[in-house]
């Protein structure tokens, strides 16, 4: 799921020097997966990612899940469950999928897991198709 070289998106844009530079792959079931190691420059508490960065990872996965269906959407509502601290500088797995769609409305889910598969954070969101 490549982006143009001029994309400045904080989550995935290659042209944003201060961004996360996330790359997503399309899974066989239509969900999306990213395998980032987010550096300590995005920490809140030492050793752990800032809550806003965690929300960004989850939001980005949901956005890419709708994009994988050929949709252009924007976040309308985002609900995050911070279950465990998310370590910085460690391999993570970020997943996103569309749960259901009705017209312009798309209910999407995402989650962050550590290298051992332990669930660290999850989110649900409503994304709206834009014209």
- CA-closest candidate to residue 76, choices 104, 38, 118, 111: 104
Query: What values do phi and psi take at 53, rounded to 5?
Result: -70, -40
- pLDDT at residue 39 in the model: 95
With contact defined as beta carbons under 8 Å apart, do 96 and 65 qualify?
yes
- pLDDT at residue 1 in the model: 59
- pLDDT at residue 16 in the model: 82
Four-way CATH pick for 25-129: 3.10.129.10, 3.30.390.50, 3.60.20.10, 3.40.366.10: 3.10.129.10
Q: List, by residue number, the catalytic residues.
A: 59
Q: Report the mean per-residue pLDDT for the chain.
A: 93
- Whole-structure pTM value: 0.93
Compute CA distances 102 → 31, 65, 80, whole Å: 18, 15, 22
Q: What are the tokens at 65? A: 């899940």
Low pLDDT (below 50) residues in the chain: none
Kindly list the domain boundaries of the chain, sorted by start residue. 25-129
- pLDDT at residue 126 in the model: 98
Please tell me the total number of residues recorded for the chain in this structure: 131
């Amino acid at each position: 799921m490549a982006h143009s070289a001029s994309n400045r998106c904080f989550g995935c844009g290659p042209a944003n020097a201060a961004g996360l530079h996330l790359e997503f792959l399309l899974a066989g079931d239509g969900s999306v997966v990213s395998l980032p190691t987010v550096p300590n420059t995005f920490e809140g508490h030492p050793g752990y990612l800032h809550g806003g960065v965690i929300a960004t990872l989850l939001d980005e996965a949901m956005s890419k899940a709708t994009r994988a269906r050929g949709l252009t959407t924007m976040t309308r509502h985002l609900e995050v469950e911070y279950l465990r601290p998310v370590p910085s500088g460690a391999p993570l797995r970020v997943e996103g999928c569309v749960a259901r769609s009705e017209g312009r409305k798309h209910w999407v889910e995402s989650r962050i897991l550590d290298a051992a598969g332990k669930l660290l954070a999850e989110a649900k969101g409503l994304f709206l198709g834009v014209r």
